[in-house]
Amino acid sequence: MFLFPASSSVEPDRAFRAVGFFIVTSKKKAFAPERQGHIDGMCAIYAVLNACKLLFEHSEAQDLRLFRELCRKNPQLFPRIVYAGTEVGGVARLLAAAKDWVWREHGRELRFTRPARSKRFDDPEAFFTFLRDVVATKKTGEKTAAIIGIDHPWDHWTAVRSIGPRRVAFFDSWRFPARTAFDYFTLDRKSEDAKHKALLAYRQTFVLRALPGEGFRRSREKSAS
């Protein structure tokens, strides 16, 4: 709980006067993505961090521990990643560090693939339909998430929260629209309307899978016996 002097200009929603103080009961922090700074290029780190947050519903303390691990295990990415970001190879290195940390923290195996690496799609709707099907295809106890790259004009990595029939929801670290229609994007940088749309670097898409932990497997085996 937090105490504010009664003379303070703060007017909390849930408070009462007691001995000259407002006594404010703290509210649970809303589940939200961690945010990067305004001008840094660290969206790749935050995309990995936020994708793992979606998979495991991490607390802020867990976010901090994972953030530290991602940085500590990838000194070769610094300092350039801070001001210039990183490409697909850097994201793969960050995910490898996250994989080790997830095993120690949760006792679960984290796998990541690039299912669209050799694919071609006619339009963004075809790509997002493909991605939605890949993320939805999972075995009992598995959890999935996705990270996509957005080229011009954003030059940005972000985590995907969900994909609907016409829109995709992002769990984003900066200012990318939280819910965005498929037709906001393009796959062709040479198309007539490319300069008015966000270019999807769809072949760089990562899909993350958290396999069931040992405790889950033991409970399944026990129930089947």
**Confidence (pLDDT) at 222:** 45
Strand, coil or helix: what is 86? coil
53/130 same-domain check: yes
What is the domain count for the chain?
2
Query: Would you tell me how many other CB atoms lie within 10 Å of the CB of residue 101?
Result: 20
Which residue range(s) make up the domain with 64? 43-224
Between CA 220 and CA 26 the distance in angstroms is 38
**Confidence (pLDDT) at 156:** 96
**Going residue by residue through the chain (225 aa), what tens digit of pLDDT does each one get?**
333 333 333 333 333 233 333 333 345 667 899 999 889 999 999 999 999 999 999 999 999 999 999 999 999 999 999 999 999 999 999 999 999 999 999 999 999 999 999 999 999 999 999 999 999 999 999 999 999 999 999 999 999 999 999 999 999 999 898 999 999 999 998 888 788 999 999 999 999 999 998 644 444 554 554
Between CA 139 and CA 156 the distance in angstroms is 30
72/133 same-domain check: yes
CA angle, 19 then 22 then 25, to 5°: 125
Between CA 205 and CA 207 the distance in angstroms is 7
Whether 32 maps to a domain, the answer reads no
Strand, coil or helix: what is 19? coil
Whether 159 maps to a domain, the answer reads yes
Q: What Rg value do the Cα atoms of the chain yield, rounded?
A: 21
- For residue 204, the one-letter residue type is Q
175/205 same-domain check: yes
